[in-house]
Amino acid sequence: MTGLLTLLRKELLRFFKVSFQTVAAPIVTALLYLLIFSHAFTAHMQVFGHVPYTAFLIPGLMMMSVLQNAFANTSSSLIQSKITGNLVFVLLSPLKPWELFVAYVGASVIRGLIVGSGVLLVTLWFVPLTFVQPVWIVVFAALGASMLGALGLIAGIWAEKFDQMAAFQNFIITPATFLSGVFYSVQTLPAFWKVASHLNPFFYLIDGFRYGFFGAGDVSPWVSLIAALLGNLLCGGIALVMLLRGTKLRN
């Protein structure tokens, strides 16, 4: 276990040492979104019949921050140590593939949850928020973070240049989070986009997470749970197979 815990600790230190950029910055970004969108829409909207827009938005922004930061942690760590070459020190160690997986994804989950909690802390005083089913909140935050941590691992192993990583981020992760219902309830969308949203795995992560706060969502939390588990299985499975085979790492 010492090997795994050491790598986990190293991955945590890596972002703690630059926490201004890895924790504070995403919290400020989420706060800006909240200020702008709540100013623009609060007067016009209530969601699920009774939830004020600002309250509805907060869990969305929390989850968006969890997902993006979990992804950023594994992907940036992998691509940086690949490009600078210091990944060799991990590859020369007797760490097993599953230990690498648990340590990298574990650090991602922790960063995601820290940033998510930070977003909650700074937005809490804007509007009274309910926590109807706290267990769902924690479960979906953790599943979202681990799924994106695994996805970041895949991207980090696959990408050979910062350029490719940026493409993965800008053309897959960001659109998928923005179009998953962070800022709106998909019920309000035209039929086509509603269906499209239901094909987006991130939608279920956010919807299930929000269910924990309000006891209401666009779909049943159990459906979201199954989707979240499948997403984890898929991303985690691919990442593990890549590590086991040494894809792009040991040729």
Partner 1 sequence: MTLPAAAVRFEQVVKRYGRHTAVDGVTLDIAEGEFFGLLGPNGAGKTTLISMLAGLTRPTVGRVLVQGHDVQTAPQAARRRLGVVPQELVFDPFFTVREILQIQSGYFGLRRNAVWIDELLHNLGLTAQADKNMRALSGGMKRRVMVAQALVHRPPVIVLDEPTAGVDVELRQSLWDFIARLNAEGHSVLLTTHYLEEAEALCKRIAVIKTGRIVALDRTDALLQRFAASVLYFRLLRGALPPQMAQATQQAGGRVALPVRGPQDVEQTLAALRQAGCEIDELELRRADLEDVFLQLIGAGR
Query: Where along the sequence are the contacts to partner 1 (CB under 8 A)?
Result: 2-3, 5-7, 9-10, 13-14, 17-18, 81, 84-86, 88-96, 246, 250-251
Smallest separation, CB 187 to partner 1 (Å)? 45
CB closer to partner 1, 62 vs 100: 100
Smallest separation, CB 85 to partner 1 (Å)? 4
CB closer to partner 1, 5 vs 233: 5
CB closer to partner 1, 14 vs 198: 14
The secondary structure of the chain as a DSSP string is: -HHHHHHHHHHHHHHHTTHIIIIIHHHHHHHHHHHHHHHHHGGG-EETTTEEHHHHHHHHHHHHHHHHHHHHHHHHHHHHHHHHSTTHHHHTS---HHHHHHHHHHHHHHHHHHHHHHHHHHHGGGS----S-HHHHHHHHHHHHHHHHHHHHHHHHH-SSHHHHHHHIIIIIHHHHHTTTSSS-GGGS-HHHHHHHHT-HHHHHHHHHHHHHHS--SS-HHHHHHHHHHHHHHHHHHHHHHHHHTTTT--
CB closer to partner 1, 21 vs 188: 21
Smallest separation, CB 250 to partner 1 (Å)? 6
CB closer to partner 1, 88 vs 132: 88
